[in-house]
Amino acid sequence: MGTTILNQINQHNQLLIRREIDVLNHICADRINKVIGSDFGISVKALEAHRANLMDKLKVNRTATLLQLALRYQEAKIKDLFDECRYFK
C-alpha cells in the first residue's frame, strides 16, 4: 500500500518546482505565510502564488488536505525504507 501512495505522489511531485516543494515543507512545519515569505525573501503575494500553484498541481483545495497528502507521502517513504531494510536482512 505504501508504495502505491508513494508512486502516486511522486507523479505529482514531478510537476512541482523546487520553490513549491520548499513552500510545502515550510507549511508542514506550521509556518505562516508572512514568515515563509520572509525566509525566502519574497512577498506574501508571491508566496501565496506558489502555494496556489502547489495546491492546484496536487489537486487539493484546502490546506488541511495538503497537509494530509504530505504526511501520507512521508509515511509511505518511511514504510518503503523499512521494507527495503527488511529485504536486505
Instruction: Extract the C-alpha cell encoding 13.
Output: 511531485
How many domains does the chain fold into? 1
CATH number where 72 lies: 1.10.10.10
Residue 57 pLDDT class (50, 70, 90 cuts)? confident
Q: pLDDT: is 55 or 74 the higher one?
A: 55
Position 14 scores a pLDDT of 67
Supply the mean pLDDT for the chain: 80
Position 11 scores a pLDDT of 67
Q: Does pTM top 0.75 for this prediction? A: no
d(CA 72, CA 5): 7
Residue 34: domain span:
2-87
Q: Is 59 helix (H, G, I), strand (E, B) or coil?
A: coil
